[in-house]
Amino acid sequence: MGHRVGGSGRATLASDRAAMKRSAPDDVIRRHVLRYGAACCGAVAALLVSRKSGAAAAPIDNAPPIDNAAAVLIENFSPAGASLGTVRVPKVIKSDAQWRQQLSALSYEVTRRQGTETPFTGATWNLHASGLYHCICCDTVLYDSRTKFESGTGWPSFWQPISKYNVGEGVDNSLGMTRSAVSCRRCDAHLGHVFDDGPKPTGLRYCMNSAAMQFVARS
């Protein structure tokens, strides 16, 4: 059998129910806040653990990118002048101060500032020994003595370079004329000029500066 509630009891019960209804939203909000806080703490804890264990994000690669434009194809040769095939190598790039330190004053003026040595004064203009002519700046092989000839100009002259890969040509408009300047392909050293008044079989005269090259006897 149930119990009846008096008037004052009913008023108290109604008051309690109203209080519960008012407090319900606060409880819901509190539960959401607690859940959000727990989730944030869990995320932070997981991040700390992953960093400590080395499972963090991939490391940043600080290695400089490879510059394919700074690589050139060069043909190598044995001391006897036999081809050893082509190989891709990085260009030789140095500061002006480094070139000055490496080269003699004349070689620097010729190779790095496009100068010209006085004719009949160079070390190899009248040289007839058998061997190879290397770039004074980077040691790339440029000419074979077998293609050297007497041009009467006072500069060492050749009717062709040892390899089309090892030298380059560009337009030179200095001194009020247009000429084809010749340079080392690997380090851009100025070597001299090429003219179309040479002997057969090419009809070309590669007029070089002794100061731009180093002679190495054939072995």
Convert the pLDDT of each residue in 78-132 to its tens digit.
Answer: 999 999 999 999 999 999 999 999 999 999 999 999 999 999 999 999 999 999 9
d(CA 182, CA 219): 27
Lowest mean pLDDT among 48-52, 152-156, 193-197: 48-52
- What residues are annotated to the active site? 207
- Measured between alpha carbons, how far is residue 210 from residues 44, 62, 110, 215 in Å? 71, 44, 9, 9
Q: Which residues pair with 207 in a beta bridge?
A: 157, 193
State phi, psi for 136 to the nearest 5 degrees. Answer: -70, -20
**pLDDT tens by residue, 19-73:** 444 444 444 434 443 344 444 334 434 433 334 334 344 344 343 444 555 899 9
pLDDT at 139: 98
d(CA 211, CA 18): 106
**pLDDT tens by residue, 65-78:** 445 558 999 999 99
Does residue 134 sit in helix, strand or coil?
Answer: strand
State phi, psi for 193 to the nearest 5 degrees. Answer: -140, 160
d(CA 109, CA 57): 53
Q: Say yes or no to pLDDT of 15 above 80.
A: no
What is the side-by-side strand order in the sheet with 167-172?
148-149, 157-158, 205-208, 190-195, 179-184, 167-172
Pairing state of beta strands 71-77 and 167-172?
A: unpaired
What pTM, to 2 d.p., does this model score? 0.69
pLDDT at 136: 98
Length of the chain in terms of residues written: 219
DSSP characters over 7-33: HHHHHHHHHHHHHHHHHHHHHHHHHHH
Q: Say yes or no to pLDDT of 193 above 50.
A: yes
pLDDT at 70: 85
Contacts of 188 (CB under 8 A, 6+ apart): 91, 168
Q: Say yes or no to pLDDT of 1 above 70.
A: no
